[in-house]
Amino acid sequence: MHKALIIYSSLTGNTAQIADILADELEDRQIDVIILDAMEADPVDLLEYDIICIGSYTFGNDAEIPDEMLDYYEEIATMDLSGKPFGVFGSGDDYYPKFATVVDDFEAQLIKSGAIKVAPGVKTNIAPDTEEELEAIQTLAQALADYFK
C-alpha cells in the first residue's frame, strides 16, 4: 500500500476541511494517509512518503505564503523529490485580487524539486462546498492513486 503525507496550514478551518476530504478520498482508493498540521511536521518528512500533498490558505491583498508554510516552501527548493507525485490545495477568497495563489507557488516549487504534478491544484473559494470544488478534490485523489497503476 502506498503512503501519502498531507501537510496543511489552516487559519479558519477551510484548508483543514479540504485536507480531511482529500484524505478520505485517498483512503477510499487504498492509499494510507497521514495528515499533519504544518506546525507538527518538518519538511524532511516529505521524503518518507510516496505521495506528497501540500495545503495552504492564501490571505490578503498580497497573497503571501503564510509564515507557518515558509519553511516548507524554502526547503522544498533544496530537496530531491524526483518521481514523487504531488497534489496542492488551498482556500482563498475571491474578494481579493489574487485568488489562492499559494497553490500556484507550491506547485512551481514542487516541480522544481522533481516532483510530478498529476492533476491541477485545487482552489476553493472559502470552504470546499460547491460540487465543482468537491469534484476537483476527487479528481486529484484519483490522479494520485492512478500514478502507481
DSSP letters spanning 79-107:
S--TT-EEEEEEEE-TTSSS-SHHHHHHH
pLDDT of residue 55: 98
Which triple of cell numbers denotes residue 65?
505564503
Q: Residue 61 carries which side chain, given as an amino acid letter? A: N
Secondary structure (3-state) at 110: helix
Q: Per residue of the chain (149 residues), give pLDDT as tens.
A: 999 999 999 999 999 999 999 999 999 999 999 999 999 999 999 999 999 999 999 988 889 899 999 999 999 999 999 999 999 999 999 999 999 999 999 999 999 999 999 999 999 999 999 999 999 999 999 999 999 98
3-146 topology per CATH: Rossmann fold (3.40.50)
Do the strands 51-56 and 116-117 form a parallel or antiparallel pair, or are they unpaired? unpaired
Q: Facing residues of 33 across strands?
A: 4
Phi, psi of 7 (to 5 degrees): -110, 130
Which triple of cell numbers denotes residue 142?
484519483
Tell me the domain boundaries of the chain: 3-146
pLDDT of residue 61: 86
pLDDT of residue 60: 82
